[in-house]
């Protein structure tokens, strides 16, 4: 039977990979979902899929996990325009209606994509559709508060081709009258970063982290590992889905929020606040002298706001990763946090994970670091007053390409066969999918690209392990382009574009000065 | 740190001989027994991967071997043994070392555990 899937109109590159992953997660092989048969990226959020009974039963489960499905419908009738829908509805045999609508109360619900119906024209439109239904014979009655059935009128006004014109109201692509089978909630309302207690500079957006958990086929009892966990944003959805999560990171400040350092920070902050308060008082005194009541009040308010912000930031400093787990009521799901460097990891080779997901540091907001000193013969590493507890090992810079290499080799060794590795790869716009690093043990399942600002792009790469790692065969890692980074391309002269522009300006200035001298 | 994780970690200190890297010795100063949701499929899947001797040793080092008696081997048909699965779940996931340290058997290098988080970072001269 055919079901109409309506997708959220965002992250279009991610929609079909998610659907494929969810079908795989629930053991429903769908050959026709393969990328060849569907135009990618999507042209419209409305898509029919022919599902068998087993798959139709799984719609609920799929909707409970999905991020990018908006809702799923069983269509009663459709048409390319409203009048066509009216005629089709009149022609529809009575039995089709009888099954769902016999002696029921109902109401119409409108979902219109790419066009906003005004209520003035909306209600007459409902009336006309209502007239086309055999309502007397069915004993249909309208109940706006507690209807038995919600009849969805779906309008598809998606643009054809690249034209930027809005589609006129009377010329939709398609109109559907349908019953809703399943719908998904909006992830951000519960898990959005805005209300999360502990976040960092690179915390992954809630929708993307839930997507990644779907791509990685995380299910209850999966052993999931994030080697660059940061604030743990990628592991929250895994815990929500009941996985056993392992988090590790090299950055001890994010993970531990070390108490001694925190205390020092607090002292500094309180000192700063005191100084600022003094300044503020002085300012206020001056203002009073000038008798400018209005201005003074405004300034006071402004100061108060600033103070409030300060006190909030102090609270944030004391927070830890586990606080998020408490916030989302998933503290009873196993979570292990370890301070560890992936390139010198401590995992016993006997261990196999069910999924490895990560957002490696690209060196923009978080530096890519590994243990070891920059100089080969450097002496002792930094220690805070000799105590072993607070030893800060020295770190050195690693290139993104090198880091990815470590990651893939690690995954090749430590994943179960059939399990997935999902990671983000930075690049410039125009990155070709052929340049993705490959390994003999892995098959690339999907690549989803998201454009960022400034000509940058990140690629979410989903790989599946297909054969066991053979140490003798480790040379089969192929990295085609070792310059995976956001960094601006360096031109022939060995300068970045910014520096080149600066040099040019300098030259012109010198020329100008010389001319003036002449 | 849970005993499940202890069962998965080994020392990476350069001077440590290969055979002494696993398992790490536990010195626990504060232990907590938390409540973790029982996940039957996970426990059944993880039991064959657990080094049972190491797990017994860990309980002994923490002074819990009398409280939780586990045999030297996994019983046959453990999939249907509900009490055994519950016990394994409790030992692997619910016993938590809050503070203490892991000690490398080969070199005596200590890895401190604080707030349930183990610090496995090495300094540059200890790296492989």
Q: Where are the domains of chain A?
A: 2-185, 194-255+321-367+405-476, 265-317
Whether the predicted interface score ipTM is above 0.85: yes
Element (H, E) at A226: strand A223-226
Q: Is B12 part of the contact surface with chain A (CB cutoff 8 Å)?
A: yes
Q: Identify the closest residue of chain B to A392 by CA–CA distance.
A: B123
CB B78 within 8 A of CB B47: yes
Token couple for A249: 């990171």
On average, the pLDDT of chain B sits at 89
- Comparing CA positions, the residue from A76, A107, A110 lying closest to residue A91 is A76
- Comparing CA positions, the residue from B101, B104, B127, B58 lying closest to residue A345 is B127
Token couple for A359: 């957002």
b/e map A438-460, b = 16+ CB within 10 Å:
bbebbeebbbbbeeeeeebbbbb
Q: Using CB atoms and an 8 Å cut-off, which of residues 58-77 of chain B contact chain A? A: none
Cα dihedral sign, A140-A146-A150-A154: positive
Strands (DSSP E) contained in A67-140 are 69-79, 105-113
> Residue A251 phi/psi, 5° resolution?
-85, 100
Among the ranges given (B109-113, B117-121, B123-127), the one the predictor scored with the smallest mean pLDDT: B123-127
Interval A243-278: pLDDT, tens: 999 999 888 777 765 444 455 555 666 666 666 565
Specify the DSSP class assigned to residue A471: G
- Comparing CA positions, the residue from A440, A494, A450 lying closest to residue A472 is A440
CA distances from A59 to A14, A73, A74, A510 (A): 19, 10, 12, 70
Residues in a beta bridge with A152: A109, A178
Measured CA to CA, the distance from residue A425 to residue A354 in angstroms comes to: 21
Query: Number of A:B CB contacts under 8 A?
Result: 107
Measured CA to CA, the distance from residue B46 to residue A252 in angstroms comes to: 29
Q: How many CB atoms lie within 10 A of CB B116?
A: 21
Contact assignment for A388 to B8 by CB distance below 8 Å: no
Residues in a beta bridge with A174: A156
Residue B97 has pLDDT above 90, yes or no: yes
Q: Are strands B117-119 and A335-339 parallel, antiparallel or unpaired?
A: parallel
What is the nearest CA distance from B118 to chain A, expressed in angstroms?
5
Interval A275-329: pLDDT, tens: 656 555 555 555 555 544 554 444 444 444 444 444 444 444 455 788 889 899 9
On average, the pLDDT of chain A sits at 80
Q: Identify the closest residue of chain B to A251 by CA–CA distance.
A: B121
Contact assignment for B122 to A344 by CB distance below 8 Å: yes
Measured CA to CA, the distance from residue A493 to residue A16 in angstroms comes to: 43
Minimal Cβ distance to B124: which of A252, A348, A373: A373
Measured CA to CA, the distance from residue B32 to residue B95 in angstroms comes to: 6
Whether the full predicted model's pTM is greater than 0.90, yes or no, is no
Q: What is the pLDDT of residue A461?
A: 93
- Comparing CA positions, the residue from B54, B4, B63, B60 lying closest to residue B29 is B63
- Comparing CA positions, the residue from A350, A335, A414, A412 lying closest to residue B49 is A350
Measured CA to CA, the distance from residue B89 to residue B2 in angstroms comes to: 11
Element (H, E) at B95: strand B95-103
- Comparing CA positions, the residue from B2, B107, B92 lying closest to residue B44 is B92
Residues in a beta bridge with A108: A151
Residues in a beta bridge with A396: A370
Contact assignment for B124 to A320 by CB distance below 8 Å: no
Measured CA to CA, the distance from residue A226 to residue A360 in angstroms comes to: 10
CATH tag, B3-126: 2.20.25.10
Interval A456-466: pLDDT, tens: 888 999 999 99
A295 half-sphere exposure, CB direction, 13 A CA radius: 10
CATH number of the domain at A194-255+321-367+405-476, out of 3.20.20.370, 3.40.50.150, 3.20.20.70, 1.10.150.120? 3.40.50.150
Contact assignment for A332 to B37 by CB distance below 8 Å: yes
Measured CA to CA, the distance from residue A286 to residue A276 in angstroms comes to: 15
CATH class of A2-185: alpha beta
Minimal Cβ distance to B127: which of A242, A339, A344: A344
Q: What is the pLDDT of residue A354?
A: 95
């Amino acid at each position: 039977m055919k079901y109409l899937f309506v997708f959220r109109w965002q992250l279009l590159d991610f929609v079909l990979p998610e659907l494929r992953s969810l079908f795989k997660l629930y053991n429903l092989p769908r050959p026709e979902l393969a990328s060849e048969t569907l135009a990618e990226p999507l042209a419209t959020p409305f898509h029919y899929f022919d599902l068998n009974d087993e798959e139709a039963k799984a719609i609920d489960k799929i909707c409970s996990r999905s991020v990018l499905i908006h809702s799923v419908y069983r269509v009663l009738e459709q048409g390319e325009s409203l009048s066509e829908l009216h005629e089709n509805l009149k022609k529809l045999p009575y039995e089709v209606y009888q099954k769902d609508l016999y002696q029921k109360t109902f109401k119409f619900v409108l979902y219109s994509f790419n066009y906003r119906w005004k209520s003035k024209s909306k209600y007459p439109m409902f009336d006309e559709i209502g007239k086309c239904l055999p309502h007397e014979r069915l004993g249909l009655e309208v109940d706006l508060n507690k209807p038995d059935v919600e009849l969805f009128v779906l309008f598809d006004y998606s643009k054809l081709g690249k034209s930027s014109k809005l589609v006129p109201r009377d010329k939709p692509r398609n109109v559907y009258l349908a019953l809703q089978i399943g719908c998904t909630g909006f992830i951000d309302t519960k898990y959005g970063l805005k209300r999360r207690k502990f976040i960092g500079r690179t915390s992954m957006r809630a929708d993307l982290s839930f997507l990644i958990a779907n791509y990685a086929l995380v299910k209850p009892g999966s052993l999931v590992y994030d080697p660059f966990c940061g604030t743990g944003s990628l592991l929250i959805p895994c815990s929500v889905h009941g996985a056993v999560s392992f988090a590790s990171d090299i950055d001890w400040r994010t993970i531990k929020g070390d108490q001694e350092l925190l205390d020092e920070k607090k002292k500094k902050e309180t000192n700063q606040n005191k100084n600022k308060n003094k300044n503020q008082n002085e300012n206020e005194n001056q203002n009073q002298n000038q008798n400018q009541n209005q201005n003074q009040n405004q300034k006071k308010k402004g100061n108060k706001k600033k103070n409030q912000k300060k006190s909030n930031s102090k609270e944030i400093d004391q927070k830890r990763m586990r606080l998020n787990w408490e916030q989302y009521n998933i503290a009873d799901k196993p979570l292990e946090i370890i301070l560890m460097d992936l390139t010198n990891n401590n995992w016993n080779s006997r261990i196999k994970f069910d999924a490895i997901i990560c957002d490696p540091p690209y060196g923009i907001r978080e530096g890519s670091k590994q243990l070891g000193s920059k100089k080969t013969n450097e002496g002792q590493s930094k220690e805070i007053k000799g105590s072993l507890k607070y030893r800060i090992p020295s770190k050195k810079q690693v290139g993104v390409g090198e880091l990815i290499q470590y990651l893939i080799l690690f995954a090749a060794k430590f994943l179960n066969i059939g399990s997935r590795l999902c990671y983000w790869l930075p690049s410039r716009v125009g990155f070709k999918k052929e340049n993705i690093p490959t390994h003999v043990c892995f098959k690339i399942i999907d690549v989803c690209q998201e454009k960022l600002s400034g000509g940058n792009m990140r690629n979410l790469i989903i790989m599946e392990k297909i054969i066991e790692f053979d140490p003798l065969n480790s040379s089969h890692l192929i990295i085609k382009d070792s310059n995976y980074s956001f960094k601006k391309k360096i031109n022939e002269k060995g300068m970045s574009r910014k520096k080149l522009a600066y040099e040019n300006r300098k030259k012109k200035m010198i020329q100008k000065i010389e001319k003036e001298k002449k | 740190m849970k005993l499940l994780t202890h069962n998965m970690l080994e020392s990476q200190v350069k001077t440590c001989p290969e055979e002494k890297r696993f398992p790490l010795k536990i010195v626990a100063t504060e232990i907590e027994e938390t409540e973790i949701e029982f996940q039957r499929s996970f426990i059944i899947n993880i039991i064959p991967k657990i080094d049972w001797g190491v797990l017994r040793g860990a309980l002994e080092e923490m002074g819990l071997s009398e409280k939780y008696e586990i045999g030297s081997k996994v019983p046959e048909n453990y999939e249907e043994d509900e009490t055994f699965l519950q016990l394994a779940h409790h030992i692997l996931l619910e016993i938590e070392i809050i503070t203490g340290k892991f000690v490398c058997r080969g070199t005596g290098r200590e890895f401190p555990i604080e707030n349930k988080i183990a610090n496995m970072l090495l300094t540059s001269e200890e790296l492989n």
